[in-house]
Amino acid sequence: MVGTEPLRLVCFELRGQELALPIGDVRETLPVQPVTKVFLTPACIAGVFSLRGEIVPVIDLGVLLGLSRTEVGEESKIVVVEHAAGTAGIVVDRLRDLRTIDQALDPAPSNLATDVAGLLLGVAATSTGTVRVLDARAVLTAEPLRAIAETSDEQGRPA
């Protein structure tokens, strides 16, 4: 965490683990929308959906983190992430409470795979467990998603 400002987080659960994004990177949270599969995309892209006329890619964070494909349930949500790197929806198992972290984040554990650790801003120990704080820019520009971004740049239109 930079400076002494508290970090406000939108927290969610994925495979029994608590993850979070800084609140400034979250545009909104939605019930799961109908998602259209798109052929020839990386496995971590669940498809796309229309958000008030804007076509938004949906990232299966479970696959991106090396976990199993996300199974959509009654409590599943889409967290719409917006950053300078782009906009995408992330499917999560369920939302958790908003949190404010007053202490600096610890670095990602050294035993995490480099590609997964690179998706984290850090971790925070709380009274209810460890919260892994995702880096929105890193998620939106993760290696499996770069080919899509490069192709859309070449064609002059968004992915």
Is residue 97 within 8 Å of residue 15, measured between CB atoms? Answer: no
pLDDT band at 125 (very low <50, low <70, confident <90, very high): confident
Q: What is the arithmetic mean of pLDDT over 91-112?
A: 90
Whether 156 maps to a domain, the answer reads no
Strand 7-14 vs strand 99-101: parallel, antiparallel, or unpaired?
A: antiparallel
Domain residues for 118? Answer: 7-150
Whether 119 maps to a domain, the answer reads yes
Domain count, the chain: 1
Whether 2 maps to a domain, the answer reads no
Query: What separation, in Å, do the N-terminal and C-terminal C-alpha atoms of the chain show?
Result: 31
Whether 53 maps to a domain, the answer reads yes
**Residue that wins the pLDDT comparison between 159 and 28:** 28
Whether 33 maps to a domain, the answer reads yes
Beta carbons within 8 Å of 129's beta carbon, 6+ residues apart: 18
137, pLDDT greater than 90: yes
CATH classification at residue 62: 2.40.50.180
φ and ψ at residue 140, rounded to 5 degrees: -70, -20
Whether 138 maps to a domain, the answer reads yes
Whether 145 maps to a domain, the answer reads yes
Is residue 88 within 8 Å of residue 58, measured between CB atoms? Answer: yes
Dist. CA 140–CA 146, nearest whole Å: 9
DSSP conformational letter for 110:
T
pLDDT band at 132 (very low <50, low <70, confident <90, very high): very high
Q: What is the pTM of this model?
A: 0.84
Residue 38's SS3 state is coil
Whether 157 maps to a domain, the answer reads no
